Amino acid sequence: MSVVATLNKNPVRRNTAQVGLFLIAMLLVPVVFGTGYYLNMMIFIAILALPALGLSLLSGLAGQLAISHGAFFAIGAYGSAILSARAGLSPVLSTLLAQILVAVIAAGIGAVVLRLRSHYLAIATLSFAIIVELVIEEWRGMTGGMQGMLGIPPMGLFGYEASSDVQFYYVYWPITALMLLFALNLASSRIGRALRAIREGEPIVSSLGIHTAGYKTGIYVVSSVFAGIGGALYAHFVGFVTPATGSIMFAIEIIMVLALGGFDRLWGALIGVALITLLNEYALGFADYKKIILGVTLIAVMLVFPRGLLPGLIDLARHRRIARAA
Amino acid sequence: MKSARIVAALAATSTAALIAGSALAQDGDPIKLGAPLILSGPGAFAGEASKRTLDMLVEDVNAAGGIDGRPVEMVYYDTEGKPDVAVRVVNRLVKSDRVDAVLGPIASWEAVAVKQALERAGVPTLMLSATRASVDPQSDCMFKLPVDDAIVVARLYEYAKAQGWTKVAVISSQDGFGDGGHRELVGQAEAAGIEIVFDEQFSMEETDLAPLLNKVKRSDAQALINWSSSRAPVIVTNTYRQVGMEIPLIHSHAALSPAVLKGTGENGEGMFAAGAKFEAGDSLSDDDPQKPVIQQYRTAYEAKFGDAPNQFGAGAYDAFKVLTAAIDAADGTDADAVCSAIEATDGYVGLGGIYSYADDDHAGLGTDSVVVYTVSGGNWQVTR
Amino acid sequence: MSSMILVDLIQIVMTTLTVGSMYALVAVGVSLIYNATGVINFAQGEFVMLSGMTVASLYGTLGWPLPAAVAAALVVVVLYAALLMAITSAFAARISLIGVLIITIGASIATQGAAARIWDSDTHRFPPFSGDDPIRILDATITPQALWIIGVSAICIAGLIWFMRSTITGKAMRACALDKAAATMVGIPVRTTILLSFVLSGLLGAAGGIVTTPLTTIDANGGMLLAIKGFTAAMLGGMGSIPGALLGALLIALVETTTVTFASGAYKELPTFTIIILVLLLLPRGLVGGRHETGLHHDDLTRT
């Protein structure tokens, strides 16, 4: 009882306990179910959870939607790919260095586009995404152009390279869990509260002397770095990147993840990613049907549960319980 | 109650599947072949023809009792024409479906992308892509079927030189196919005595190519070579006509399809392309060993599906024949044995040419398999 | 040398007008729907795609007479526009602006998938109305279909402007765009005017699909890029302003054509999207100065 009480009072401890339990459960999965092709899917979930968590931070705290997370995923992927495959850096180092690139670009773009709101922000970030895709396609000497870039070394350190799906699984899930913990703590920190306050009434907060633009740019940078790390992990897992890695369709899929998991739910983002990865796997070979399913689900979810499918269902269940109790 | 019934139904079907499975096992384990094909998007016609052809061939083989008593089973996936999707489906083919061999992919940009994954898995692969880059650099167990850019460019340059078109303009699409062709066009020019006076790439998403072609028009090129696939040859040809160009227009082998002629209509008259003899069919001379093979395939395909096959279906046909012959010769699906058997293929008369592989030649065809076509009366005709 | 420049100039002007007309039909459509609902319609390009595909299969493949195929395409697009109107404004007050934007994205990709199933994912084209023989102006050339595109677009947009300014219904639509509450009070049926906006917007897109398909060809996935071009143009000119949309469309076409003529076709999107970011920042209301969103929606994604 007292443990629960302490945990509830201290969000950092509560988050740590929850994420810790979650990670232990995830690490036991291959022990219980053995190795198999499903691990491949699980690794994709760990990777794609990162841009989704990033976007969830932005939409959950700032209430806004950016269509640039696919682009930052691509910058992280190509950045790390180029640094490791062409400059010969170790994948861990290249992953980290690529994030500096992501952060600098995000800070530059964020400082200007975050003055816009609503669908103006969406279109501005979409334009940025199109520019990034174009630069990747055109800077052939560096990126390999439309053909993509092959021969990216697998994730590893000091000569040890992950080579099987199980190894990738045990490297990637702890990273994703750590990032999830960071996101949860950020959301419940003073910074998170300040951002929520800005969302509710920017002029008032700004009149209190809080530097609102700085907060907004900050969260945009953090959120983009989440996507960038995801990109780097992707590149060192698949070993191959193409301009499609950060295409608009990919950005739409991330939005779809949030529509399923809830626009302000970090845990929901994980569930959304799992659903989308399953859809991608089962729709493999049915691209047209996948588009129909994706489109229709997106419409249905937004119409019925504008805040996202999962929060909507939870609300529904709660209302039912209250109604039954009354 | 309801759930109990579902469980019962599930149990029944799975038992049925089990029985069916064991019945199959008595005839020998099936040989599983994976085909990552482009089945949606602008290149879908290529994958569709390949899939139909493979289905037809598998039906024939299994009706005749399979290979060494083992039935053949195909696993198809749609690559959507995207290299990243191609890599995913190939991973699934080798890791989850555990196929014995792979036939495909078709698009050059997919073929180059999946090389690494297939190499690691060590699965015998017969690429259906039309670029030399899919087997160059060569890897142990990867072969290529259709005519590729290396031999098509060589043949085209030979033809252009003979016609006195020594100054050419080159436009190519920004993708694996355009890149591969561009590499060959630039690489072979000097040796062939051809000068490239204009060289620019264009995006497949381009809606208006008039400005590009106007620039070509102003150059002193004596012929225009367009290296692009799927819908691009149609747009290039129509725009070429719209800007009033008169120098000869030469396409890559990707333009050799009825679909392109349908898209260009009248505008296509007089344009050139080089490729396998397959498109010529009936107009080949009677002593050509490929003629009966091509006619027989065309008749069977048209009878079954009601429309004409294309060169991509033909590529799949050749790949299936070469592979099944190799499996037969190797007495099983052991990867090394199958690969050695493919390398031993010598003089197989197929739809796309006469194939001979060797341990240092995984491309299989030479320039003698390539002919130059021109459009006349709405059909591709072999030039004499 | 100077004639060379003149030829270049004529060629640039003609290409700009052709491509610009094509973008303008989409951009003006985007503006119409934005005016009525405050929403950016991501599915705007699907109007073009659906009409192009319908005419291509009925006229090009099945051999219907052209007017019948055109009529059928218009019916298809009007029905589609009505459906789109129904889903985007079903629970409009409850859903944020970005929420509705997401709905139109969903509509766009679902339509692409469905079109690829109904037809196929190949490119389609039908013969141009007046052949392919180029018309020469000095050394510059223009295809007759380009004149059709420019002419039909001009007539459609001029007709629309006249309709909005001079008819009672058009005036009601403008009143509705300015203030929905006031419009309701004076007895303007708001839902009908919204429906009308969608239908008119769809018809503009349909006209675009019918005249441009012979020149540019169309495929099931071809709508989204056009939509992006369309609302980029609309935003450049000033969201909600019809002359602004026209100006934005021509400007984008000019930038693209100039880039392709003097640099390379590969880079044509680069200046366009750089300009849009700059304009959004420096002139958030666009070149002409459009309207800001109406108070019907809130703009926070996570509030309901």
d(CA B97, CA A284): 13
Q: Is residue C199 very low, low, confident or very high in pLDDT (cuts 50, 70, 90)?
A: very high
Residue B150 to residue B136: CA distance in whole angstroms: 11
Cis before B105 (ω within 30): yes
Nearest by CB: A244 against B84, B96, B112: B84
C260 touches chain B (CB under 8 A): yes
Numbers of helices and strands, H then E, in chain B: 12, 14
More confident residue, B298 or A1: B298
- B263 CB neighbours in chain C (<8 A) are 123, 125, 217
Nearest-neighbour CA in chain C from B304: distance (Å): 20
Q: How far apart are CA A147 and CA A242, in angstroms?
A: 7
Residues of C in contact with B41 (CB under 8 A): 121, 221
Taking CB atoms and an 8 Å limit, are C109 and A252 in contact across chains?
A: yes
Asked whether the predicted pLDDT for residue B2 surpasses 50, the reply is no
Mutate: best of C30, C42, C53, C105, partner A, most A CBs <10 A: C105
A31 part of contact set with chain B, CB < 8 Å: no
Confidence check: pLDDT of B286 > 60? yes
Tell whether B214 is within 8 A of chain C (Cβ): yes
B-C contacts at Cβ under 8 angstroms: 90
DSSP character at residue A146: G
C-alpha distance from C67 to closest chain A C-alpha (Å): 31
Q: Read off the pLDDT of each residue in C258-276 and give the average, rounded to a whole number.
A: 75
> Any idea which of A178-182, B2-6, B141-145, C150-154 has the lowest mean pLDDT?
B2-6
B78·A137 Cβ contact <8 A: no
Name C272's Cβ contacts closer than 8 Å, sequence gap at least 6.
Answer: C232, C252, C255, C256
Chain A residues touching residue C103 (CB < 8 angstroms): 298-299, 302-303
Chain A adjacent subunits, 3+ CB pairs under 8 A: B, C
Say what the pLDDT of residue A83 is: 95
CB contact B282 to C (< 8 Å): no
Would you state the pLDDT for residue C128? 87
Q: Return the pLDDT at B305.
A: 92
pTM reported for the whole predicted model? 0.83
- How many angstroms separate the CA atoms of C276 and C282, rounded? 10
Q: Would you state the structure tokens that stand for residue B275, as one six-digit string?
A: 């490729």
User: Considering only CA atoms, which of C293, C297, C298 is closest in space to residue C34?
Assistant: C293
- Of A77-81, B79-83, C69-73, minimum mean pLDDT range: B79-83
Residue B211 phi, psi dihedral angles, 5° rounding: -60, -40
pLDDT confidence of residue C253: 92
The residue count of chain A comes to 326
- pLDDT for the residue numbered C300: 67
Average pLDDT over residues B252-279: 88
| Nearest CB to B84; choose among A37, A242, A286 | A242
Instruction: From first to last of the 326 residues of chain A, give the pLDDT tens digit.
Output: 455 666 567 888 888 999 999 999 999 988 888 887 888 889 999 999 999 999 999 888 877 788 899 999 999 999 999 999 988 899 999 999 999 999 999 999 888 888 777 777 888 888 888 889 888 887 878 888 777 888 888 898 776 778 788 889 999 999 999 999 999 999 888 888 888 887 777 777 777 777 778 888 899 999 999 999 999 999 999 888 888 877 788 888 898 899 888 888 899 999 999 998 888 888 776 777 888 988 998 899 888 888 888 888 888 888 888 888 76
Task: For residue C198, give how far its alpha carbon lies from the nearest alpha carbon of chain A (Å).
Answer: 18
A292·C106 Cβ contact <8 A: no
The continuous run of DSSP H or E covering B370 comes out as: strand B370-376
Query: In this structure, which amino acid lies at residue A285?
Result: G
- Cβ–Cβ below 8 Å for A292 and C114: yes
Q: In 3D, which of B38, B51, B54 has the Cα closest to residue B105?
A: B38
Q: How far is A35 from chain C (nearest CA, A)?
A: 35
Do residues A49 and A229 make contact, with C-beta atoms less than 8 angstroms apart? no
Q: How far is C294 from chain B (nearest CA, A)?
A: 35
Over residues C174-187, the mean pLDDT reads: 78
Least confident of A119-133, A199-213, B72-86, C198-212: A199-213
Inter-residue contact B357 to B343 (CB < 8 Å):
yes
For A184-234, the pLDDT digits (tens) are: 999 888 888 888 887 777 777 777 777 778 888 899 999 999 999 999 999
Answer whether residue C127 shows pLDDT above 80.
yes
**Residue C298 confidence (pLDDT) above 70:** no
pLDDT at B117: 85
* Nearest-Cα residue of chain C relative to residue A145: C266
Name the residue among B40, B76, B95 with its Cβ closest to that of A288: B40
pLDDT digits (tens, 9 = 90+) for C130-157: 887 778 877 777 888 999 999 999 999 9
Query: A107: domain CATH number?
Result: 1.10.3470
All residues of chain B having their beta carbon less than 8 Å from the beta carbon of residue C134 are: 241-244
Q: Do C132 and B231 touch (CB under 8 A)?
A: no
Rounded CA separation A81/A246 (Å): 14
Give dist(CA B351, CA A2) in Å, integer: 79
Q: Which candidate, B336, B53, B78, places its Cα nearest to that of A280?
A: B78
Measured CA to CA in angstroms, residue C145 lies from A35, A272, C222 at distances of: 60, 47, 19
Chains with ≥3 CB–CB distances under 8 Å to C: A, B
Q: Confidence band (pLDDT; 50, 70, 90) for B23?
A: very low
pLDDT of residue B138: 82
Contact C302 A59 (CB under 8 A): yes
Q: What does the pLDDT read at residue A8?
A: 63
| Angle in degrees, CA B99, B102, B106, rounded to 5 | 145
In this predicted structure, the answer to whether residue C293 has a pLDDT above a threshold of 60 is: no
Of B202, B206, B244, nearest to C136 by CB-CB distance is B244
* ipTM higher than threshold 0.90: no
Residue of B nearest to C268 (CA): B206
Asked whether the beta carbons of residue A134 and residue C112 sit closer than 8 angstroms, the reply is: no
The answer, for C151 touching chain A at a CB cutoff of 8 Å, is no
Q: Using a CB–CB cutoff of 8 Å, tell me whether A122 touches chain C.
A: yes
Q: Phi, psi (5° rounding) for residue A221?
A: -65, -50
Q: How far apart, in whole angstroms, are the C-alpha atoms of residue C204 and residue C225?
A: 17
Predicted confidence band at C3 (pLDDT cuts at 50, 70, 90)?
Answer: low
Please give the residue range of the domain that contains residue A276: 2-325
Nearest one of B200, B46, B62 to B128, comparing CA atoms:
B46
Residue A233 pLDDT: 95
Q: How far is CA A229 from the centre of its chain?
A: 9
Do residues B99 and B93 make contact, with C-beta atoms less than 8 angstroms apart? yes
- Closest of B177, B131, B91 to residue A239, by C-alpha: B91
**Cα C279 from Cα A265, distance rounded (Å):** 34
- Of the candidates B76, B78, B92, which has its C-beta nearest A37's C-beta? B92
Whether B22 shows a pLDDT value over 70: the answer reads no
Mean pLDDT, all residues of chain C: 84
Is pLDDT of C195 > 80?
Answer: yes
Residues 6+ away with beta carbon under 8 Å from A275: A257, A260, A261
Number of domain units in chain A: 1
Chain B residue with Cα closest to C117: B40
Asked if C219 lies within 8 A of B44 by C-beta distance, the reply is no
- The answer to whether the Cβ–Cβ distance between A118 and C95 falls below 8 Å is no
Quick one: average pLDDT of B13-32? 52
Domains of chain B: 29-148+293-368 (3.40.50.2300), 150-282+370-382 (3.40.50.2300)
pLDDT of amino acid C92: 65
Q: Is the pLDDT of residue C260 over 90?
A: no
Which residue type is seen at C160? Answer: L
Query: How many A/C residue pairs have CB atoms within 8 Å?
Result: 153
- pLDDT, average across residues C12-32: 92
Comparing A39-48, B236-245, C89-98, C255-264, the range with the smallest average pLDDT is C89-98
Mean pLDDT of B8-15: 42
Residue in chain A closest to C271 (alpha carbons) equals A131
Report which secondary-structure segment, H or E, holds B151.
helix B149-163
CATH architecture entry for C10-282: Orthogonal Bundle (1.10)
| Yes or no, beta carbons of A240 and B92 under 8 Å apart | no
Nearest CA in chain A to B204: A146
Instruction: Using the predicted structure, report yes or no on whether residue B152 has a pLDDT greater than 50.
Output: yes
Q: Are A136 and A246 a contacting pair, CB within 8 Å?
A: yes
In a 3-state reduction of DSSP, which class is residue C194? helix
